[in-house]
Amino acid sequence: MEKLPKIGIPIIIVVVLLIILLAKSAVTIDSGEAGVLYKTFDEGVVTDEPPLGEGFHIIAPWNKVFVYEVRQQELYEKMRVLSSNGLEIQIEASVWYEPVYSNLGNLHQSLGENYLGRVIQPAIRSAARSVVGRYTPEQLYSSKRDAIQDEIFTETKIILEKQYVQLNQVLVRDVTLPNTIKDAIERKLKQEQESLEYEFRLVTASKEAEKVRIEAQGKADANKILSASLTDKILQDKGIDATMKLSESPNSKVIVIGGGDGGLPIILGNN
């Protein structure tokens, strides 16, 4: 009976050690994550093998696993940058990014878990300063938002090309100008709109006047041609035709043939 406790204590110790070793050896990778294996007694970070995928894994208890989120993530940035004429512009942008899955080991080895602050944030800020510095506040306020969004994305992607990070999209959410500059731009745009409207009215009035002139000229030319074609002989023939039609009318009248100018008939009565 006295030997049982002496035998039981080592067993309990072994069981406890096994539980500890199992706890240190078991790794669970959640959905949307991947693990980078670090071998303490080997070459350190494993870069020549795929990362540990989702699910349950058993590793040597002296090794470590660094877990990374590999889904698309969003970085929201509010930046103050200068325009081409030195005015301060505030830009709000969203950056969609994710680590390159196949290079997760290299990412961990070269940049570590804080890769967002080490490369992505500096890259987007540098690209934003470079791009916005090419434009005036008027351009940024009116027509160039889509252009600067595309240019910031392109320049940021170039910077991150060899950093084991995949840049998916850059969205410029807002461009804020100083109130004095914004008011001045709005007044200028309003004046330009009014000027364009006035020019449109002038063009419309000019076209309408040209239309009236062309119509009047057409009528004048028609009358001129008609007058030139109406000779005495034609007028006399038309008068005779009219007399013939009049003589056929049932109404009583007295017609003197050849009594008018040019031998045209004279109508004396119509009862």
Cβ-contact 110, 45 below 8 angstroms: no
Task: Give 76's strand partners.
Answer: 94
Angle at 15 between CA 12 and CA 17, to 5 degrees: 110
Predicted TM-score (pTM) of this structure: 0.62
Write b or e for each residue in 26-38: b if 16 or more Cβ atoms lie within 10 A of its Cβ, otherwise e: ebebeeebbbbbb
Query: Does the pLDDT at position 165 exceed 60?
Result: yes
| Sequence spans of domains, the chain | 3-69, 73-177, 187-229, 232-270
What lies within 8 Å, CB to CB, of 146 at 6+ separation is none
Taking only the tens place, the pLDDT of each residue in 120-149 is: 999 999 999 999 999 888 787 766 778 889
Mean pLDDT of 105-128: 94
Homologous superfamily (CATH) of 73-177 is Band 7 domain (3.30.479.30)
Note whether 120 and 165 are within 8 A (CB): yes
- Greatest mean pLDDT among 93-102, 186-195, 215-224, 250-259: 93-102
